[in-house]
Amino acid sequence: MADRILLAHGSGGKLSHELVRQIFLPVFDNDVLNRLDDRAEIETSGVRLAFTTDSFVVNPPFFAGGDIGKLAVCGTVNDLAMGGADPLFLSAGFIIEEGFPMELLKKIVESMRQTCDESGVKIVCGDTKVVEKGSVDRIFINTSGIGAVPEGVSISGSRAKPGDKVIINGYIGDHGMAVMAQRQGLTFKKDISSDCAPLNGLVKEMLGVTKDIHVLRDPTRGGVATTLNEIAGQSGVGIVLWEETLPIRNQVAAACEILGFDPLYVANEGKVLAVVPADKAGRMLESMKKNRYGTESAVIGEVVSDHPGRVVLATGIGGHRIVDMLVGEQLPRIC
Amino acid sequence: MADRILLAHGSGGKLSHELVRQIFLPVFDNDVLNRLDDRAEIETSGVRLAFTTDSFVVNPPFFAGGDIGKLAVCGTVNDLAMGGADPLFLSAGFIIEEGFPMELLKKIVESMRQTCDESGVKIVCGDTKVVEKGSVDRIFINTSGIGAVPEGVSISGSRAKPGDKVIINGYIGDHGMAVMAQRQGLTFKKDISSDCAPLNGLVKEMLGVTKDIHVLRDPTRGGVATTLNEIAGQSGVGIVLWEETLPIRNQVAAACEILGFDPLYVANEGKVLAVVPADKAGRMLESMKKNRYGTESAVIGEVVSDHPGRVVLATGIGGHRIVDMLVGEQLPRIC
């Protein structure tokens, strides 16, 4: 293991997993944390709750389609929703650089409120720290969230089964490329806008189709490739992705091409990967397409018993290539 | 209101309150947040929970008597305990500067675990972000926490009543001066060590004396003076502090003298201010003194109906001076 923290330790990819497994898990060791899902499921006085935390350090804090405030609410709402939980309460912890314009803070706070309103959560506690100029890059926000887990729902990265279908709710790579374009001052003929969105409404509708959803996970840092690798690893199954079915906008594909990114590794902030029993996939897809955040939903692959722990891309010309977890850091500070 | 964020907006003093009241409350507006206690009390499926969040940016991250890890666990455990809640679950969000030594991270994580063990809480979810060199000063940690509020307990900054006694569990100013000494490379004949400690055990014993504790609050940023001002304001009462009864170590008093600080405004991380009915104060004090974090407990003042919203210091020579909330920033990045 490296003797210093590298950017890649925060990438969501291989080194992030190494850090978690070698530094955090052995020390904090407990059943809940060890499950390695996007949120903890805890029980207190017989009530099942979901609990999650996320810090946001996106650079720049304002980008096409959102800002760090919207992102901070969506990120935590979505982590809760990925367990089928109803997000209820959020905390908000701000770390702000001395000199940060009050007007921008107001914008961020307003944007958090709008996203809270949309997703039906309340910010019930908060904290603000201000540090000297140069001690933090403008503004970082942590949100933690509590949700209620409905009866009969058991969604986990370890429940994918051979035969299951993999569904995504729309175009991949939008968020990462929007932030990247903003950061680099790039403009494209068609704008690229972040997909940042609260997905709890969509997930609720999906659970209306069947409570037997095996896995839900939002492909943020590390993108679709890394998230599917996590699922394959946790469930001990193989996953085949069908390249031709992957929804990608032309301008995102073009931006990736120009900048040398693989869209499979680019972060999304309004996407969910769902692993569902094959006989439910059709109805699930139909239902998802009716939601504003699911109009471009597609079945993009399936779970297999071959090559456990591995994700394989079936290409249009009949080839296959292994899609590994993100190695190194592709896009630092994307969220 | 200032058009840019100042260090004093994070001081815990006047400008912090202004920021909360003018920027956060009007936008996030909800009953729970508006109570302005150290943690939110929320109810879900009939279960009463406490929820709180705190980011830690202490500089330096290691100091006599603790480190940012211990502080991060104590801070959130104590915020929960200040509502009489049993702390149960913690989240941990790390923001780390690229290049931070892995050995130091291990130390911090180990120290978090020890403090969790002592206070009986579990870290059940986490998040790690790594940012480029220069984008954050070494390491910041956010912890959020969930606790269970026992039946019959109703502790709030708004419950202080004329006649109540104010008790503190020991020496004031240790934490702030320990961090300051470390930062400035000062040494004193007798070392100054942070009082950083988890107080949930002490609070549990205090609730054993009576559930009718009116207020509990930990005087962290802004110190005893600011915290008592908050209570006076929330409860609409006056508070008189008896100068001669305030427990202060000689070396802390000396360090404050040299550096020009008033110990009443210096941060504590293992102290609780308790406002209790007068007829319970004797037994409360007795019980507190038996706890390892309460051996130097003292009754330091009382609640009065005069000068509502104001804290007054009764000095040894019979004088009185108004003790205001912290104005400006005394010691940035103390927690």
Interface contacts A/B by beta carbons within 8 Å: 287
* Among the listed residues A35, A80, A67, the one whose alpha carbon sits nearest the alpha carbon of residue A218: A80
* Among the listed residues A39, A127, A44, the one whose alpha carbon sits nearest the alpha carbon of residue A87: A39
Contact check, Cβ <8 Å, A51/B125: yes
pLDDT band at A184 (very low <50, low <70, confident <90, very high): confident
Mean local confidence (pLDDT), A26-44: 88
Strands B40-44 and B47-56: antiparallel
**What are the tokens at A211?**
């409570």
* Among the listed residues A38, A36, A77, the one whose alpha carbon sits nearest the alpha carbon of residue A217: A38
User: Which residues on A lie below 8 Å from B124 (Cβ)?
Assistant: 30, 32-33, 40, 42, 51
| pLDDT over 90 at A167, yes or no | yes
Q: Which of A45, A122, A129 sits opposite B47 (nearest CB)?
A: A45
Contact check, Cβ <8 Å, A95/B32: no
* Among the listed residues A101, A40, A298, the one whose alpha carbon sits nearest the alpha carbon of residue B122: A40
Contact check, Cβ <8 Å, A51/B6: no
Mean local confidence (pLDDT), A107-132: 97
The whole-angstrom separation of Cα B252 and Cα B256 is 6
Quick check: bond before A60 cis, omega within 30?
Answer: yes
Over the stretch B229-264, which tens digit does the pLDDT of each residue have? 999 999 999 999 999 999 999 999 999 998 899 999
Contact check, Cβ <8 Å, A40/B88: no
Domain ranges of chain A: 7-148, 165-323
Q: What is the pLDDT of residue B278?
A: 98
User: Which residues on A lie below 8 Å from B39 (Cβ)?
Assistant: 125
Q: What is the pLDDT of residue B331?
A: 83
Least Cα separation, residue B170 to chain A (angstroms):
26
Q: What is the pLDDT of residue A317?
A: 87
Q: Which of A5, A39, A135 sits opposite B125 (nearest CB)?
A: A39
Q: What is the pLDDT of residue B185?
A: 83
The whole-angstrom separation of Cα B15 and Cα B25 is 14
Mean local confidence (pLDDT), A1-5: 93
pLDDT band at A17 (very low <50, low <70, confident <90, very high): very high
Find which of A5, A6, A23 to mutate to test the B interface (most B CBs within 10 Å of its CB): A5
Average pLDDT value for chain A: 95
Residue of chain B minimizing CA distance to A92: B53
Distances (CA, A) of B2 to A126, A318, B9, B94: 21, 63, 10, 30
Distances (CA, A) of B332 to A134, B7, B194, B263: 14, 7, 16, 15
In one letter, which amino acid is B95? I
Q: Which of B3, B42, B142 sits opposite A142 (nearest CB)?
A: B142
Q: What is the pLDDT of residue B291?
A: 98
Contact check, Cβ <8 Å, A5/B130: yes
Find which of A70, A124, A335 to mutate to test the B interface (most B CBs within 10 Å of its CB): A124
Please tell me whether residue B18 adopts helix, strand or coil conformation: helix
- Residue where the block lists tokens 């090559």: A307
What DSSP line would sit under B224-282, residue for residue? HHHHHHHHHHHHT-EEEEEGGG----HHHHHHHHHHT--GGGS--SS--EEEE-HHHHH
Q: Which CATH number fits domain A7-148: 1.10.600.10, 3.30.1330.10, 3.30.2290.10, 3.30.70.120?
A: 3.30.1330.10
The whole-angstrom separation of Cα A303 and Cα A299 is 12
Q: What is the pLDDT of residue A38?
A: 77
| Contact criterion met (CB below 8 Å) for A107 and A147 | no
| pTM, full prediction | 0.96
User: Which residues on A lie below 8 Å from B122 (Cβ)?
Assistant: 28, 30, 32-33
Q: What is the pLDDT of residue A186?
A: 80
Which residues are CB-neighbours of B16 under 8 A, at least 6 positions away?
A: A128, B8, B9, B10, B221, B222
Class of the CATH-defined domain B165-323: alpha beta
Beta bridge partners of A43: A48
Find which of A6, A103, A144, A326 to mutate to test the B interface (most B CBs within 10 Å of its CB): A144
| Contact criterion met (CB below 8 Å) for A190 and A328 | no
Least Cα separation, residue A217 to chain B (angstroms):
15
Contact check, Cβ <8 Å, B142/A144: yes
The whole-angstrom separation of Cα A190 and Cα A224 is 23
What DSSP line would sit under B142-197, residue for residue? EEEEEEEPPTT----TT---TT-EEEE-S-SSHHHHHHHHHHHT---SS-------
Residue of chain B minimizing CA distance to A49: B44
Contact check, Cβ <8 Å, B113/A140: no
Instruction: Give A7's DSSP letter.
Output: G
| pLDDT over 80 at A189, yes or no | no
Contact check, Cβ <8 Å, A4/B101: yes
Least Cα separation, residue B14 to chain A (angstroms):
13
Instruction: Give A53's DSSP letter.
Output: E
Contact check, Cβ <8 Å, A95/B1: no
Q: What is the pLDDT of residue A285?
A: 98
Least Cα separation, residue B255 to chain A (angstroms):
24
C-alpha B66: how far from its chain's center? 15
Contact check, Cβ <8 Å, A123/B33: yes
ipTM of this complex prediction, to 2 decimal places: 0.95
- Side-chain-side CA neighbours of A102 within 13 Å: the count stands at 15
Residue of chain A minimizing CA distance to B150: A45
**What are the tokens at B231?**
């209570």
Residue of chain B minimizing CA distance to A335: B129
Strands A311-314 and A238-242: parallel
Least Cα separation, residue B25 to chain A (angstroms):
10
Contact check, Cβ <8 Å, A98/B123: no
Q: Which of B44, B53, B109 sits opposite A126 (nearest CB)?
A: B53
Residue of chain B minimizing CA distance to A47: B45
| Residue-level pLDDT, tens digit, chain B, 335 residues | 899 999 999 988 899 999 999 999 999 999 988 887 778 999 888 889 999 999 999 999 999 999 999 999 999 999 999 999 999 999 999 999 999 999 999 999 999 999 999 999 999 999 999 999 999 999 999 999 999 999 899 999 999 999 999 999 999 999 999 999 888 888 777 789 999 999 999 999 999 999 999 999 999 999 999 999 999 999 999 999 999 999 999 999 999 998 899 999 999 999 999 999 999 999 999 999 999 999 999 999 999 999 999 999 999 888 999 999 988 877 889 99
| pLDDT over 90 at A190, yes or no | no
* Among the listed residues A323, A301, A294, the one whose alpha carbon sits nearest the alpha carbon of residue A200: A294
| pLDDT over 90 at A125, yes or no | yes
Over the stretch A76-105, which tens digit does the pLDDT of each residue have? 999 999 999 999 999 999 999 999 999 999
- Side-chain-side CA neighbours of A170 within 13 Å: the count stands at 22
Q: What is the CA radius of gyration of chain B?
A: 19
Residue of chain B minimizing CA distance to A6: B98
